[in-house]
């Protein structure tokens, strides 16, 4: 009862007071005129506020979203050693936390932008009044009024609103600023501001601007540099330019004075800072420490396929997601691959003259130098630069460079025209024309045990052409495909010692294609030789015989299993007539070096989001017990084998063992001087149109080709051994520390047997030596496939023939001596042609 009486009492008081207030309002409304006007104005203001709220505030974003706001950040790329080597960025952005900002830098921005920041509630009424007066005074003049925005209002505009210049946007900004102040602390607001404010040179935030203007991190900045960064929000695209240097210094000094007035620095400190020049650094590419444009573009394509390009494609997009990408790029191997491939192109080009411009710009489309800047064409070779011909008159010409300067050009042909984009090199007070080789090519280096691509070069320079010849150019591999034909033969009953005819082979390909007869490169042939000899000397006829004996369908299946390509079962494909890429060939050879186990080629090891969480990983193997809290005392847990088995391990090793002979005494013999356990195969396509080499060691496989983008004859002298193999040799010599002397290890099930290198028959007396042309060698056989022991009788017969040959040679010597006594010394009219077996 007491509680009910209490409630009724309060209801009574509310009714009584409300009735009294209403009576008071009616009495004043009737009797006082000023009260009526005041009430009308107050009601109108309230109505306007309700309308403004309905029209403006209802669609404003929620300020609480700033608590989870993630700014667009570039994707950072790391190399194999973890160092940053590149970034995918259309804007410079680096996100820091509030404690990371130097206190003096914060004070510089407060002095320049909002000295009452820590005391106002989001709106500075004094600044707002000044802005209103300035706006009214400039109405109709076309000039933009002073904004009068606080730092909180700028955060609202930069992150949650547009940059529209209107009263409506200003009102929204004010409303939103009040919301932000109630949702975030002052430190959180400053953190957003200092990370997001646009400061010119495509930089957003003070850390990105510090790198862009001074090539420093924020904690390394000096006072005068901090004051300069603080002036940029007013006119970011003006104060950073050379022609406005005086204005920038004046504004910087004003900020220093404001810092003194606010007690942030002393007068002496400000005076010392004022005496300093601006000290701006020229703008340069950020985080590009490796010249690996083709590699980075391939990574970018892979990332965009998985995560999208912009923020609209998802929160982990390439250009906004702030990803951290760990790649397999080895900068040292990459530089060597670039230089070796370019060296091969330059050697081939020789003195062939100027092949033409690298690009052409239409003079009718405006300023040529500006068009050149927009094209992003460039070159990184010696001290060459890319320029555009701006004038041409008779024997004189002028070249314009991307820095806006023009110079006289010398050493140019009559075919040079205005608008031609060319490579030039400084010569005296001008520049002289240089030739970028027309021939091109591709290069890939890979780790066979993991499939990680260590280096990739897809042409002379990615800034001249982004067409990646290592992954996108379909080329005939020529004889580099032969090891996989031999692998098919080994899988179908042959051995490295099998005798194969080196004789003409004709094949009827049907009514449409008719009969096809094959021949060796350079002609010749005849006799019967070991499979090893055929591979070492790259004999076409022997390869076709092996392919037909093994069955072309089986050969094609072998090509498909190792990822080279899928072709029709015609013998021409056994000689490399089908198209493939450098990357595919290197991957296939990696399977040979890895005992027939192939890992798919990868350029990315793993991807982390902006918070460090791994969201993609190349190695997806499960590892049981790897995440135990404590060791259980059992054997160390290990993940399973990676990749898939595409070849018999024994077959793969037999092929590698034969390919060692290609380097020791075969078509790649020029690599023998490297004194490394290398294997490999050269290749030359019909024409010749392409020159190839693929090979390497147990740890690194590299492959390359040289040829024209529109295939044509490179010249009859061109072969894989004299054109492509030297590129590989240069690559190894530049990276010698990466190559070990560890030999290829035979897998279980391989028997090493002594044989006669020429005949392939088993040898029981004598020891194999390291001599390239040793008569006795170790050969790899699968169990029960080695030559039988009865070959001892054959060895005795061979020794008997050797003795007979010696007797006959002695008889000929005596006859020659008698001939000389009668007629004088015989002339050397016969030149014996030796050969390497």
Which residues are designated catalytic?
113, 479
Which residue do the tokens 């060459």 mark? Answer: 384
Rg (CA), the chain: 39
Coil, helix or strand at residue 693: strand
Q: Give 481-545 as a 3 state SS string.
A: HHHHHHHHHHHCCCCCCCEEECCCEEEECCCCCCEEEECCCCCCCCCEEEHHHHHHCCCHHHHHH
The first and second tokens of residue 487, run together, are: 């692998």
Query: Closest Cα partner for 776 from 800, 791, 792, 760?
Result: 760
Q: Are 826 and 819 in contact (CB under 8 A)?
A: yes
> DSSP 3-state assignment of 645?
strand
682 Cβ partners below 8 Å, 6+ apart? 479, 480, 538, 662, 667, 668, 691, 692, 693, 719, 720, 721, 724, 725
Partner residues linked to 446 by β-bridges: 453, 701
Instruction: Please calculate the CA angle 148-150-152 and round it to the nearest 5 degrees.
Output: 145
Q: How far is 550 from 494, CA to CA, in rounded Å?
A: 9
* Cα distances (Å, whole numbers) of residue 561 to 484, 588, 597, 645, 710: 10, 9, 11, 9, 29
Tell me how far CA of residue 191 lies from CA of 97, 116, 416, 443, in angstroms. 6, 17, 55, 46
Closest to 348 measured CA to CA, from 443, 464, 438: 438
Alpha carbon 703 to chain centroid distance? 18
CB atoms within 10 A of CB 656: 23
Per DSSP bridges, beta strands 597-598 and 644-645 are: antiparallel
Backbone φ and ψ for 620, nearest 5 degrees, come out as -100, 15
Two structure tokens written together for 420 = 């031609």
Task: Please give the full DSSP string across 371-416, using - where no structure is assigned.
Answer: HHHHHT----STT-EEEEEEEEETTEEEEEETTS-EEEEES--TT-
> What does the DSSP assignment read for 200-216?
STTEESHHHHHHHHHSS
Tell which residue, 737, 734, 604, has the closest CA to residue 335.
734
3-state class percentages of the chain: helix first, strand second, coil last, to nearest 5: 45, 15, 40
Q: Which token pair is 357? A: 């411009």
Q: Check: CB of residue 680 under 8 Å from CB of residue 671.
A: yes
Rounded Cα distance between 130 and 146, Å, is: 8
Query: Are the CB atoms for 719 and 693 separated by under 8 Å?
Result: no
Cα(495)–Cα(553) distance, integer angstroms: 20
The rounded distance, in Å, linking the Cα atoms of 299 and 304 is: 9
Q: How far apart are CA 758 and CA 532, in angstroms?
A: 9
- Provide the 10 A C-beta neighbour count for residue 185: 10
Instruction: Count other Cβ atoms within 10 Å, centred on residue 126.
Output: 10
Rounded Cα gap, residues 207 and 103, in angstroms: 14
Q: Which helix (H) or strand (E) holds 796?
A: helix 791-823
Comparing CA positions, the residue from 213, 278, 275 lying closest to residue 247 is: 278
């Amino acid at each position: 009862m007491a509680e009910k009486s209490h409630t009724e009492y309060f209801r009574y008081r509310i009714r009584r007071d409300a009735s009294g207030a209403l009576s008071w309002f009616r009495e004043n409304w009737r009797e006082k005129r000023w009260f009526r006007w005041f009430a009308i104005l107050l009601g109108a203001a309230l109505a306007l506020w309700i309308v403004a709220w309905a029209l403006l505030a209802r669609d404003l974003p929620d300020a609480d979203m700033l608590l989870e706001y993630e700014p667009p950040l570039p994707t950072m790329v790391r190399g194999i050693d973890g160092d940053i080597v590149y970034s995918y960025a259309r804007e410079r952005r680096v996100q820091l936390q509030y404690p990371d900002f130097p206190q003096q830098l914060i004070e510089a921005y407060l002095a320049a932008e909002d000295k009452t920041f820590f005391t106002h509630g989001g709106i500075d009424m004094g600044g707002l009044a000044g802005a209103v007066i300035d706006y009214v005074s400039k109405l109709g003049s076309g000039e933009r009024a002073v904004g009068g925005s606080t730092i909180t209002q700028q955060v609202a505009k930069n992150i949650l609103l547009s940059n529209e210049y209107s009263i409506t946007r200003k009102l929204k900004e004010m409303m939103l600023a009040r919301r932000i102040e109630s949702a975030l602390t002052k430190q959180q607001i400053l953190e957003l501001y200092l990370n997001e404010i646009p400061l010119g040179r495509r930089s957003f935030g003070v850390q990105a601007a510090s790198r862009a203007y001074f090539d420093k991190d924020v904690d390394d900045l000096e006072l005068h540099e901090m004051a300069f960064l603080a002036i940029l929000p007013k006119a970011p695209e003006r104060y950073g330019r050379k022609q406005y240097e005086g204005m920038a210094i004046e504004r910087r000094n004003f900020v220093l004075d404001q810092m003194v007035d606010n007690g942030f620095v002393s007068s002496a400190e400000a005076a010392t800072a004022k005496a300093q020049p601006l000290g701006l650094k020229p703008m340069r590419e950020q985080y590009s420490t490796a010249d690996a444009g083709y590699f980075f573009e391939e990574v970018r394509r892979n990332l965009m396929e998985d995560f999208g390009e912009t923020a609209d494609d998802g929160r982990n997009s390439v250009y906004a997601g702030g990803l951290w990408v760990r790649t397999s790029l080895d900068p040292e191997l990459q530089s060597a691959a670039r230089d070796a491939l370019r060296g091969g192109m330059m050697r081939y080009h020789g003195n062939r003259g100027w092949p033409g411009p690298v690009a052409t710009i239409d003079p009718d489309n405006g300023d040529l130098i500006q068009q050149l800047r927009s094209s992003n064409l460039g070159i990184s070779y010696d001290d060459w630069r890319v320029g555009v011909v701006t004038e041409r008159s008779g024997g004189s010409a002028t070249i314009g460079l991307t820095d806006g300067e023009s110079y006289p050009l010398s050493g140019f042909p009559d075919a040079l025209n205005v608008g031609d984009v060319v490579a030039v090199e400084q010569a005296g007070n001008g520049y002289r024309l240089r030739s970028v080789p027309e021939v091109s090519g591709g290069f890939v280096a890979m780790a066979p045990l993991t499939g990680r691509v260590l280096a990739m070069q897809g042409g002379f320079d990615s800034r001249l052409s982004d067409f990646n010849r290592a992954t996108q150019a379909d080329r005939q591999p020529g004889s580099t495909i032969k090891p996989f034909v031999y692998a098919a033969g080994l899988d179908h009953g042959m051995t490295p010692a099998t005798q194969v005819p080196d004789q003409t082979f004709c094949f009827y390909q049907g009514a449409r294609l008719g009969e096809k007869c094959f021949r060796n490169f350079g002609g010749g042939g005849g006799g019967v030789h070991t499979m090893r000899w055929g591979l070492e000397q790259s004999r076409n006829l022997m390869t076709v015989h092996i392919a037909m004996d093994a069955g072309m369908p089986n050969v094609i299946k072998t090509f498909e299993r190792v990822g080279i390509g899928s072709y029709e079962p015609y013998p021409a494909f056994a000689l490399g007539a089908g198209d493939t890429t450098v990357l595919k060939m290197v991957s296939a050879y990696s399977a040979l070096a890895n005992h027939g186990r192939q890992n798919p080629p990868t350029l990315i090891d793993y991807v982390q989001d902006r918070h460090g969480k791994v969201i993609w990983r190349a190695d997806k193997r499960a590892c049981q017990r790897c995440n135990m809290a404590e060791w259980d005392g059992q054997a160390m847990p290990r993940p399973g084998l990676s990749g898939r088995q595409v070849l018999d391990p024994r077959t793969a090793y037999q092929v590698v063992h034969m390919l060692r002979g290609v380097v020791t005494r075969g078509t790649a013999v020029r690599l023998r001087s490297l004194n490394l356990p290398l294997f490999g195969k050269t290749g030359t396509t019909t024409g010749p149109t392409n020159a190839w080499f693929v090979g390497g060691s147990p740890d690194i496989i590299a492959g390359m080709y040289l040829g024209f983008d529109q295939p044509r004859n490179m010249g009859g002298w061109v072969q894989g051994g004299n054109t492509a193999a030297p590129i590989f040799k240069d690559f190894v010599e530049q990276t010698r520390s990466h190559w070990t002397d560890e030999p290829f290890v035979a897998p279980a099930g391989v028997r090493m047997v002594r044989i006669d290198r020429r005949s392939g028959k088993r040898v029981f007396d004598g020891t194999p030596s390291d001599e390239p042309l040793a008569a006795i060698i170790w050969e790899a056989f699968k169990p029960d496939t080695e030559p039988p022991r009865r070959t001892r009788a054959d060895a005795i017969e061979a020794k008997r023939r050797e003795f007979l040959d010696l007797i006959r040679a002695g008889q000929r010597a005596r006859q020659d001596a008698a001939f000389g006594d009668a007629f004088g010394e015989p002339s050397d009219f016969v030149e014996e042609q030796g050969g390497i077996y």
